Amino acid sequence: MTLGPDFVRARTARHRRLPEIGDGGAARLAAARVAVVGAGGLGSTVIPYLAAAGVGRIDVFDDDVVELSNLNRQIIHSVERIGQPKIDSAVAAGQRIAPEVEVVGHRVRLGDNFADVVGAVSPDIIVDGSDSFDTRFVVDAGAAQLGVPVVFGALMQWSAQITVFDAAGVYGPAVRLTDVFPDTAETRATPGCAEMGILGSVAGMVGTMLATETVKLITGAGRTLTGRMLIVDTLDMTTSEIPLAPAQEDQPIPVAALNETQIEDATVVDVRRTDEITEHPAPLDVVHVPFDQLDTFVPQPGRRIVTLCRTGPRSVKAAQRLAAAGHDVVGYLDGGVHALEESPHAAPSESSL
């Protein structure tokens, strides 16, 4: 099988169809580097899903070997690998799913060497899948020194805590692990899975959440868990949220809903994917800028902007984003292409960047 661009595009086709990711987001994933600390219960799910998402390079740090008691939750390992380094299973799992992704194992115990060892691979994001506060405090200090955000998960029995720590304040409030859990002997003595037990599927569920948060940070999609901690109780199947920083209210710029008679002398920006436009061309002149590539759009000087999508929701967000970037946005076409197709006034015509 040839691992060329067509292979990668076909393998990642389903998440490329998401308007929040698209080809632009897929390119950012392919260019990203993620360091995963721990190839245990959380890492066993994080690593394959990051590889499946097409993250360009995944560096896994773990000095442990596979034990029989790991196998209720650490699903990348097997009975045949008992006694072997966990990083071997981690590398094999990632490459089995996404052979174009570079998965590198580092059999090393992290401590005062963190900034040197992890910093050497220049990660964009660190995923903390460790199982003790001793290691978590090491990760926190090292990530703060490197200025890299930490996607954090902690397991206990049927429950879990998930958040994103970002000491540099690049992705949200500048909150660190030590702002939530003081580095004390009492905190470090908190029992782990070996003492308290853990249901394997809980580890898998939380690992997928960590992978999702990582993808969101890389692509800029959605709202991440920076500044807030998600508490999951699977025994009662409930979730709750704890604020870790003062609430930051989003105040989107108001945009007007327009019809086709109100867009004269404006540039209509079609934010749909290319395959959507092929299937349903807009019945008027447009400039094609996929939603995931809006930050690259440079409008003609003096031209007002109207956004367009299939039915409306994406064009609202696109109009708000372009307005926030300082462009002269008039509004969005209410009802999108679907409404235009019902109109007798517009003639089919389309141009693209």
Is residue 32 within 8 A of residue 62, CB to CB? The reply is: no
Amino acid in position 32: A
Grouping H, G, I as helix, E, B as strand and the rest as coil, residue 213 is helix
Per annotation, catalytic residue among 34, 141, 177, 193 = 193
Which whole-number Å values give the CA distances from 245 to 96, 237, 249, 256, in the listed order?
A: 40, 26, 12, 33
Known active-site residue 309: no
Which whole-number Å values give the CA distances from 136 to 122, 152, 188, 267, 335, in the listed order?
A: 19, 9, 9, 51, 49
d(CA 175, CA 98): 33
Cβ partners under 8 Å of residue 68, min gap 6: 79, 82
Is residue 106 within 8 A of residue 91, CB to CB? The reply is: no
Both structure tokens of 318: 């696109």
Which residues are known to be catalytic?
193
